Chains A and B, each alone.
Chain A
């Protein structure tokens, strides 16, 4: 059975692509293997290894046959995107307990296939998709009790670790609109995660200390960075070598950030635009 997307259902679609979304017809069955279908002109084409992006998690969530793997992927996914959603709700005026329950309920809903087949998710950005879906969710299930029921006590992630940070994020966003708060927490979350991933990689390579030495030159911070000469002396390398290292480190971070951002867009061609957007949000 074919269904036409109604504007209100596709309300998460941001800006320019809206017109195309509204008019596109989709299958409401939604269980086709859209997730693994190669998108021409992207990495998935021409034998490149299929990469699990966070978009794929969203696609797959609706497929009952992949319940176990979807659950695993979903928990990583939820952990990654919990803070901006939680901050958004807090910013909107929900109490901490309500906001926690609502996010939980929202994630639980993402697992349900019906909601997922509503929209064509072959294109778009996870950032706008999640916010739009959350707003729809709030519209439909504003009531905390229903959200709780939906969550069904299913603890997809432990939030204790993230709670203080997400609460602190509100400090920095009181001057913004709700959506502005969401965007800012989203942006800082992505950048922060890109850095953390890089840290983990270096740790795995046994170069954690080395990274710590170079960190102030690349990642800023409140402490005044030492001079490059000092750092070079401490690492016992010529200054030129230090500069080469710094250059490589910066490059690796750029790649790490691209990968992280790439994980949130369905079409790699959107990466640059999304990166610029994150940049603008953080710099505003």
Chain B
């Protein structure tokens, strides 16, 4: 919403073409000292001989966005990436939705590389068929098999639980009775599989899931039946396959699996062995045989069982005997079938239970007493919880996007609108911390990781909701959830006529305030209950416009859409103050970001709309915000804007938009500390608003507080890892600190292009600072060879840059020619935009470069008059920097140095690509200051330690 290149964010820079590995086809970014491809090398660990390392095409999971396999849609997380349940070297398991049955499944997608092995697909299909035949409560069933674009995949029953591995990692070894229960259930699964002639081949704690059945009892599910055989080394025919390319965890493999293809049969007895290792792991938290190499593991398997590991567990003799029998190296001495195993396990747990019974009886008495005590404590706690006041931390809430359950997808706007209206009402309660929409909109409606999200947003409560609209009735369902315990605090469903939707929003907001024990003042009661319009059609139209206005990017499409519907809303109800306020806001932000044509008419419409809103409802927060924003965005009248925003803040204490506006305005007024405080406040209610964080970082940059700026930028990269703006800012900071290698490293992966102006300018400047302008000259020539009307005066600026780069390269004739052309182009624009001081600065520098000193100086002075520093602390000093540069060039050393002295003492945003203000490092590196270098006053400035 600030005026810095918001509209220019669209184009994405891409990586330059890099050298690739001839073997695996991946970029050779990770290489050894002699150019080895480290990816090829590390792949060897997970590949069999003859298998090629995967080529990048095999993995689609690095790209965000929806993945679809047949009628299965892979679920995406808050970050837009597919939700992976597990990933191995050969396959990825996703959480996916069966769009036909509208249920969830685990979708295993096998890498292309495996799928492309000759015969692999038919083998895979055969195995999947066999696995699909196992119908058993302890086996996750395979329900679908498919192939798509060279990939095989199958859908499996989704088990909502955790793996044994995760459980043991979390809680440590299991108690004997639980472990035996798990193994008994797993043995039952083996019996069922054996009947179908299927061997698992990769039984290990991470392939056994635990879930609770409806009665709360543990249920074991074996997953991934039929996978190992297809993916394992047995698929290769080469006789050289010994233990190479072992898939899975060697520690759980049976000796016959180590023996290699065809040497020993791998049957159920192999699974029994692996289950034995699993039982060992459950009881001790470790595997019996470990070694640094597979050879060592194998050798240990055949020597002795480290029974001493079991000693301190005091296991019953039968259990030790069971373990011993399962872990015999020779399969002929293990239980010979799954059924035999089941009997052995069963008798063990029976035995164990008899022994345990006596102990348990005693325990029951103790337990009953304990229970009574717990109940008493719980009652007390509950009473206390009900009566005590909530802490400020507890009175915090984030409203997640509401799910649109209407059959008509077109009604999505309605769900968005209702969510935003509830959020807005809540944000009017001073006593409540409400996270702004900008920070919540990227989350899902009903996410799994509520606790994590609450942590990211710094709230104790989350509101989820859904909206269903059909004809003239609406059903709204809301659920207030306490994040720490993932428990419902309150939920309700409202079935209303469409005309009554406003009362639902009010009711929800009031109930939440009540539940979170936020006290409402009388004013707040009124504000929340206020009905913005009595005309349902007008409100519907308003919600449609609002949905457009809430979109993140200020694109012409969004702005025009918002404008159209909001105009319709106020046409239907001319007394709709909230509608008028929104219209003004849409117009003013369109004017500022130029997503609407910045005409006088548009500016006037913004003013009239804000005035109308204020006339209708003088205390409406949104109307005050609109009026303030109009003065800020359209008139740059910061004092008046501030006056309105301060008033708006009284009514909308939680609005990050108001706080952000206040931060911007105070910054322009040179009150950097106040601005900083507003930024901090805004981030409390809007912690994941990237634009806000980025503006805050820019403030730090202007103040030359680079470590703090870098920390803010890191915060952005944690939300948007590839944000180009942010990477460019990091590079600019490195330049300002004189760390050119680091800046170069940051800029290197970005492709030069006009699509992304910030990056381009920074790259050109880097070339100039490094005195290596060759590549940027070539690139600039290429860009300028194609006339592009949309560039406007910017093409002239690029020509100025080109001339500068050519001068640094020593090609003075070419430089002159570029500058002459730049001057012609820039002058033609200045006639149309006589107030554009950016343009004036460019033209002043160009004239100075061409030796037209008078013209250069007068332009710089004109710009300074137009935007004095006192009027605008952020960009006001820009013309002074232009003057310093022009004066250095024209030989007016005193004037240049006194300007530099002033500039180095104040915070500001610089005119050239170096958006960081001038620093000693810039003085040392920038060739434009060359003429001053001998002056001791300049040397003092340039060598001042920052």
In the complex, A269→B748 CA distance in Å? 40
In the complex, A223→B19 CA distance in Å? 10
> Which residue of B42, B238, B739 contacts A282 across the interface (Cβ within 8 Å)?
B42
In the complex, A76→B722 CA distance in Å? 36
Given A175-B727, A222-B21, A246-B49, CB of A187 within 8 Å of CB of B41:
no
Given A221-B36, A253-B41, CB of A282 within 8 Å of CB of B22:
no
**Inter-subunit contact A280/B87 (CB<8 Å):** yes
| Distance in Å: Cβ of A90 to nearest Cβ of chain B | 7
| Distance in Å: Cβ of B207 to nearest Cβ of chain A | 14
Residues of B within 8 A of A200 (CB): none
| Distance in Å: Cβ of B614 to nearest Cβ of chain A | 46
**Inter-subunit contact A247/B39 (CB<8 Å):** no
Residues of A within 8 A of B286 (CB): 41, 267, 269
In the complex, A90→B21 CA distance in Å? 27
**Inter-subunit contact A177/B293 (CB<8 Å):** no
In the complex, A272→B748 CA distance in Å? 35
- Is B721 part of the contact surface with A, judged by Cβ < 8 Å? yes
**Inter-subunit contact B23/A254 (CB<8 Å):** no
In the complex, A16→B573 CA distance in Å? 59
In A201-221, the 8 Å CB interface with B consists of 215-216, 218-221
- Is B43 part of the contact surface with A, judged by Cβ < 8 Å? yes
Residues of B within 8 A of A278 (CB): 42
In B717-731, the 8 Å CB interface with A consists of 717-718, 721-722, 727, 730
- Is B249 part of the contact surface with A, judged by Cβ < 8 Å? yes
**Inter-subunit contact B727/A222 (CB<8 Å):** no
- Proximity bits, A163-206, B CB within 8 Å = 1, else 0: 00101001110111110000010011001101110000000000
| Distance in Å: Cβ of B629 to nearest Cβ of chain A | 35
- Is B359 part of the contact surface with A, judged by Cβ < 8 Å? no
Residues of A within 8 A of B29 (CB): 171-172
Residues of B within 8 A of A96 (CB): 739, 741
In the complex, A253→B45 CA distance in Å? 9
Residues of A within 8 A of B19 (CB): 222
- Is B32 part of the contact surface with A, judged by Cβ < 8 Å? yes
| Distance in Å: Cβ of B357 to nearest Cβ of chain A | 32
- Is A243 part of the contact surface with B, judged by Cβ < 8 Å? yes
- Proximity bits, B40-57, A CB within 8 Å = 1, else 0: 111111100100011000
| Distance in Å: Cβ of B391 to nearest Cβ of chain A | 22
In the complex, A275→B23 CA distance in Å? 21
9-residue interface stretch from A3-11, A146-154, A229-237, A256-264: A256-264
**Inter-subunit contact B292/A43 (CB<8 Å):** yes
In the complex, A167→B240 CA distance in Å? 42
- Is B322 part of the contact surface with A, judged by Cβ < 8 Å? no
**Inter-subunit contact B45/A275 (CB<8 Å):** yes
Main secondary structure of the interface of A (DSSP, over half): helix
**Inter-subunit contact B251/A177 (CB<8 Å):** no
- Is B308 part of the contact surface with A, judged by Cβ < 8 Å? yes
In B276-306, the 8 Å CB interface with A consists of 286-288, 290-293, 296, 306
**Inter-subunit contact A95/B42 (CB<8 Å):** no
- Is A144 part of the contact surface with B, judged by Cβ < 8 Å? no
Given A90-B742, A192-B38, CB of A225 within 8 Å of CB of B44:
no
**Inter-subunit contact A174/B170 (CB<8 Å):** no
In the complex, A16→B87 CA distance in Å? 18
- When C-beta atoms are compared, the residue in chain A nearest to B297 turns out to be A268
**Inter-subunit contact B292/A262 (CB<8 Å):** yes
**Inter-subunit contact B749/A174 (CB<8 Å):** yes
Given A16-B169, A282-B42, CB of A196 within 8 Å of CB of B746:
no
In the complex, A189→B877 CA distance in Å? 48
In the complex, A196→B29 CA distance in Å? 18
- Is B347 part of the contact surface with A, judged by Cβ < 8 Å? no
Interface residues on chain B, number (Cβ under 8 Å): 75
**Inter-subunit contact A172/B30 (CB<8 Å):** yes
**Inter-subunit contact B49/A40 (CB<8 Å):** no
> Which residue of B23, B59, B238 contacts A221 across the interface (Cβ within 8 Å)?
B23
Interface residues on chain A, number (Cβ under 8 Å): 68
**Inter-subunit contact B40/A219 (CB<8 Å):** yes
**Inter-subunit contact A188/B293 (CB<8 Å):** no
In the complex, A284→B87 CA distance in Å? 12
Given A90-B742, A221-B21, A250-B49, CB of A188 within 8 Å of CB of B290:
no
**Inter-subunit contact A171/B748 (CB<8 Å):** yes
In the complex, A65→B83 CA distance in Å? 52
Residues of A within 8 A of B288 (CB): 41
| Distance in Å: Cβ of B177 to nearest Cβ of chain A | 22
Residues of A within 8 A of B746 (CB): 174
- When C-beta atoms are compared, the residue in chain B nearest to A93 turns out to be B710
- Is B35 part of the contact surface with A, judged by Cβ < 8 Å? yes
**Inter-subunit contact A220/B45 (CB<8 Å):** no
**Inter-subunit contact B292/A259 (CB<8 Å):** yes
Residues of B within 8 A of A255 (CB): 293
> Which residue of B24, B30, B727 contacts A184 across the interface (Cβ within 8 Å)?
B30
**Inter-subunit contact A257/B42 (CB<8 Å):** yes
- Proximity bits, B252-293, A CB within 8 Å = 1, else 0: 000000000000000000000000000000000011101111
- Is A279 part of the contact surface with B, judged by Cβ < 8 Å? yes
- When C-beta atoms are compared, the residue in chain B nearest to A270 turns out to be B290
**Inter-subunit contact B749/A196 (CB<8 Å):** no
> Which residue of A45, A216, A244, A282 contacts B39 across the interface (Cβ within 8 Å)?
A282
Residues of B within 8 A of A219 (CB): 32, 36-37, 40-41
**Inter-subunit contact B23/A271 (CB<8 Å):** no
Residues of A within 8 A of B841 (CB): none
Residues of B within 8 A of A145 (CB): none
In the complex, A194→B41 CA distance in Å? 9
- Is A69 part of the contact surface with B, judged by Cβ < 8 Å? no
- Is B737 part of the contact surface with A, judged by Cβ < 8 Å? yes
**Inter-subunit contact A191/B38 (CB<8 Å):** yes
6 tightest Cβ-Cβ pairs between the two chains A and B: A220-B37, A220-B40, A219-B36, A16-B169, A220-B23, A172-B29
Q: List 22 A-B contacts (CB under 8 A).
A: A16-B170, A90-B742, A95-B737, A170-B742, A174-B749, A175-B721, A176-B721, A177-B721, A188-B38, A191-B41, A192-B36, A192-B38, A195-B38, A218-B40, A219-B41, A222-B21, A255-B293, A257-B42, A268-B290, A279-B46, A282-B38, A283-B59
Extra 9 A-B pairs, beta carbons < 8 Å, given A195-B38, A259-B292: A17-B169, A43-B292, A93-B706, A174-B727, A195-B41, A218-B44, A220-B40, A275-B45, A276-B89
Give me the interface of B with A, judged by CB distance under 8 Å.
19-24, 28-46, 49, 53-54, 59, 62, 87-89, 166, 169-170, 172, 238, 240, 242, 244, 249-251, 286-288, 290-293, 296, 306, 308-309, 706-707, 710, 714, 717-718, 721-722, 727, 730, 733-734, 737, 739, 741-742, 745-746, 748-749
